[in-house]
Amino acid sequence: MSGMKHLPIFYKVVGFLAVFYIFFKYLINFVMPPLPQSLILMYLFLAIVATTLYISLFEERMQEFWDPVLRFIRSNEGATTGVRWVVLVVVPFLAGFSTFQKLTPTATPPLEQRVIHPAPPREYAQLYNPIPHTPENILAGKGMFIAYCSPCHGPKLDGKGPAAAGFNPPPANFVDPGTIAQLQESFLFWRISTGGVGLPVEGKPWNSAMPRWETRISPDNIWRIIMYEYEGSGHKPRTWE
């Protein structure tokens, strides 16, 4: 430890503050959740106040602390002059660079808060499927699904149709347990009938490519397509029972 004793107090203080910061910023994360940066800076401020008190308590300690700093600033030795120039250039550059980084706007788009399954309008919530659950009706639904829906939602109902890659939000994947398996038939009837333009405010940003099918497909046929969506994906519609 005799080596430590002769280490100038300036390096001891800088070393202490560095270890202090690294401890609260990184090491502590192994045993507890990370501390907020503002709290770490507050601790660091207190540590700086404490070390300042410690140094300024005695005249000799003050002198010992500033000695290497003054020597660095005043020295005329070749090597020190070179290092001094590096510090004089690098420190202002780093300060300028970090200010630039903080003030430059980034191109990251803001997070979109889109409600994927908003509540359907009241007139749709009460509907039930009037079409009998027969193989003929399901087959008819399959034919219409392949014709109208598979380009986007995919022939395997997994949302990977040939046109899917071009759309954001992507076409729904009906096999995924997060879509139609969570929904009632009446919800699907609403979404298929009114499409992306029928989404309420919370379902924005209204850029859904889902077409509004009520203008092209009769209600009975929409019910048949819904029947096939469940049959083909292996899910059951959600009911209130």
Contact pick of 127, 140, 188, 227 for ligand HEC (by CB under 6 A): 188
Query: Does 235 contact ligand HEC by CB under 6 A?
Result: no
Query: Does 209 contact ligand HEC by CB under 6 A?
Result: yes
Query: Does 169 contact ligand HEC by CB under 6 A?
Result: yes
Nearest to 129 by CA among 236, 226, 232, 235: 226
Contact pick of 151, 204, 212, 219 for ligand HEC (by CB under 6 A): 151
Query: Does 138 contact ligand HEC by CB under 6 A?
Result: no
In one letter, which amino acid is 31? V
CA distances from 212 to 106, 208, 237 (A): 36, 11, 21
Cα–Cα distance, 164 to 162 (Å, whole number): 6
Contact region for ligand HEC (CB under 6 A) — 24-32, 53-61, 99-107, 185-193? 185-193
- Within positions 32 to 91, which residues make up the interface with ligand HEC, using CB under 6 A? none
In one letter, which amino acid is 83? V
- Within positions 96 to 135, which residues make up the interface with ligand HEC, using CB under 6 A? 117
Residues 6 or more apart from 127 whose CB is under 8 A from it? 185, 186, 189, 190
Q: How many CB atoms lie within 10 A of CB 35?
A: 14
Residues that bind ligand HEC (CB under 6 A): 117, 148-149, 151-153, 163, 167, 169, 171-172, 179, 188, 191-192, 196, 208-211, 213, 225
